[in-house]
A and B are shown apart, each in its own frame.
Chain A
């Protein structure tokens, strides 16, 4: 009789996939991943609010928690251990350059270069921007309804940023991801759209508005949101803001098993850094792929199950019919 189980060796995986979800910075609320409910999702279609960051490489986890012995007796011997500190770090390389991966691989604010008005004074992170336009009712995450006059200001292939005007807010700003922390009142009405993660590519323009090639991360434009054309992105070395995100890393095994590394809160540890990897290892002076390097510190959350402070969850879903 044929066996209906097998003894699975260590998982064999080719690549690691990364996913992002926003942390509510004001309430310090991360997004939690439940492998029991969501673990079998299609890697190309993660459950909301997770957003794919694509494949990554050089993914390394390092636990730097420290334990100390509790000694007793003469001569002293360890009878217990206590955990003095909990700390974990990860490092990785993103294989794509997108708004999200750039922002997560930089140490501070990551800004959108808003399209500028003719003749405006040059500025390192974008000059005076073209006046924002207001989406009309009926707009969705993938379709922006505009007046014909406003629609004519955009072209297919352009990028847009959608968020509210800066009107003197302080604290965390940006939807759905906090893109910056405003400590003192600013004067730039476009500031929130400069730091927002709510960006997308325009695939089509007609007289009634814009069709987007990808949904806005923040969904349908919120009340008061406006949009502006974006020409690119800029970040800086320095500043005081730390990006923070909920992270999920997935290794898909050859037999269908899955390993998940879920870090509810990650903050960048380093400034923007790149690595150049030659396309032909034998020709180090030839073309090289420039990948974004990221190094992160895991911050703790309280696990409501037992009140423990934890940094990371590692889940494993075995292969079908594999002995456990």
Chain B
């Protein structure tokens, strides 16, 4: 499943860079597209604002197939306080913009599976694919608006995985 998780993240990251190049994060001294995998970074005391955070949750396996299917549940969390220039009064618009970016990032609902442990990454044989996101209601904490969306990500296990 790790190759599928990596491929899903890299697909979203590449798409986000094209959709909104302005959405970036300075992380470990490097400016990157504003999307990260929580389990691949140092623990956060608080999730960063204006960035998409991928959190992997459930896992399901179907062994009764000619190729084993794995399904991973990915929660994508994001939050914003709006911009300083508007005194945070645009936080609703900022969250809506992130909603739209996420919907756009997720289409098309598939990407080639690559092995990112190799340099350069090597193409595998199958595609990673996923369903439409299920959006949770907005959570309000003082001036911070947060939302999460869950996506089921599917892949077939290939030989050697």
Task: Give Cα A108 to B23, complex, Å.
Answer: 54
B160 within 8 A of A: yes
- Interchain CA distance A46-B69 in the complex, whole Å: 32
Q: Chain A 290-324 against B: per-residue CB contact (8 Å), 1 yes, 0 no?
A: 00000000000000000000000000000111000
A3 at the interface (CB under 8 A from B): yes
In the complex, A171 has a CB within 8 A of chain B:
no
Partner of A9, one of B110, B156, B160: B156
| Contact in complex: B69, A9 (CB < 8 Å) | yes
Query: Min CB distance, A16 to chain B, in Å?
Result: 15
Question: Which stretch, B51-59, B81-89, B123-131, touches the partner chain A?
Answer: B123-131
Are B67 and A2 touching (Cβ within 8 A)?
A: no
Find chain A residues with CB under 8 A from B125 CB.
3-6, 320-321
Q: Is B159 interfacial (CB-CB < 8 Å)?
A: yes
B67: chain A residues at CB < 8 Å are 6-9
Chain B residues, CB < 8 A from A8: 66-67, 156
* Distance to closest chain B CB from A11 (angstroms): 11
Within 8 Å of chain B (Cβ to Cβ): is A256?
yes
The answer to whether B159 and A3 touch across the interface, beta carbons within 8 angstroms, is: yes
**A6-B158 CB under 8 A given contacts A255-B126, A255-B127, A256-B127:** yes
- Check B156 against A6 for contact (C-beta < 8 Å): yes
Alpha-carbon distance A6/B126, docked complex (angstroms): 8
Tell yes or no: B65 within 8 A of A by CB.
yes
A residues in contact with B160, CB < 8 Å: 2-3
**Assembled-state Cα–Cα distance A319/B109 (Å):** 16
State the CA gap A134–B110 with chains docked (Å). Answer: 49
| CB-CB contacts below 8 Å: A237-296 with B | 254-256
Q: Does A14 belong to the interface (CB within 8 Å)?
A: yes
Residue of B nearest to A252 (CB): B110
Chain B residues with a Cβ closer than 8 Å to the other chain, count: 16
- Chain B residues, CB < 8 A from A6: 67, 125-126, 156, 158-159
Contacts of B127 in A (CB 8 A): 254-256, 319
Q: A14, B126: Cβ atoms under 8 Å?
A: no
A12 on the B face (CB < 8 A) = yes
Mask, B125-161, CB within 8 Å of A = 1, is 1110101000000000000000000000010101110
Whether A12 touches B154, Cβ cut-off 8 Å, given contacts A254-B110, A321-B125, is yes
A312 to B158, CA, bound (A): 35
- Report A-chain residues with C-beta under 8 Å of the C-beta of B109: 14
Determine if B66 and A254 form an interchain contact, defined as CB atoms under 8 angstroms apart: no
Q: Chain A residues near B69: list those with CB within 8 A.
A: 9
Query: For residues 43 through 92 of chain B, which have their beta carbon under 8 Å from a beta carbon of chain A?
Result: 65-67, 69
Query: Is A9's CB under 8 angstroms from B154's CB?
Result: no
Interface string of B75-116 (1 = CB under 8 A from A): 000000000000000000000000000000000011000000
**Interface residues in A113-171 (C-beta closer than 8 Å to B):** none
State in angstroms the CA–CA spacing of A254 and B109 once bound together: 9
- Which of A2, A3, A254, A255 is most buried by chain B, counting CB atoms within 10 A of its CB? A254
* Complex contact A3–B158 (CB within 8 A): yes
Beta-carbon contact of A254 and B158 below 8 Å: no
C-alpha gap A65/B131 in the complex (Å): 37
A30 to chain B, nearest CB (A): 32
Task: Report the minimal beta-carbon distance from A206 to chain B, rounded to whole angstroms.
Answer: 35
Complex Cα distance, B129 from A12, in Å, reads 10
Once the chains are docked, how many angstroms separate the CA of A6 from the CA of B159?
8
Establish whether residues B66 and A7, one from each chain, have CB atoms under 8 Å apart when the complex forms. Answer: yes
- Docked complex Cα distance between A4 and B160 (Å): 12
Residues of B within 8 A of A4 (CB): 125
Chain B's nearest CB lies how many Å from the CB of A42? 12
* Residue of chain A at shortest CB distance from B160: A2
Q: Which residues of chain A are within 8 angstroms of B129 by Cβ–Cβ distance?
A: 12, 254
Contacts of B65 in A (CB 8 A): 9-10
User: How far apart are the CA atoms of A14 and B109 in the complex, in Å?
Assistant: 10
With both chains docked as a complex, state the minimum distance between the C-beta of B118 and any C-beta of chain A, in angstroms: 10
Q: Give the docked Cα–Cα distance between A7 and B159 (Å).
A: 10
Nearest opposing residue in chain A for B130, CB measure: A254
Min Cβ gap B9→A in Å is 18
Given contacts A4-B125, A9-B156, A256-B127, 17 further A-B contacts (CB under 8 A): A2-B159, A3-B159, A3-B160, A6-B67, A6-B125, A6-B159, A7-B67, A8-B67, A9-B65, A9-B66, A10-B65, A12-B154, A14-B131, A254-B110, A254-B154, A255-B156, A319-B126
List 8 A-B residue pairs with CB atoms under 8 Å apart, sorted by A's residue number.
Answer: A5-B125, A6-B125, A6-B159, A8-B67, A14-B131, A254-B129, A255-B127, A319-B127
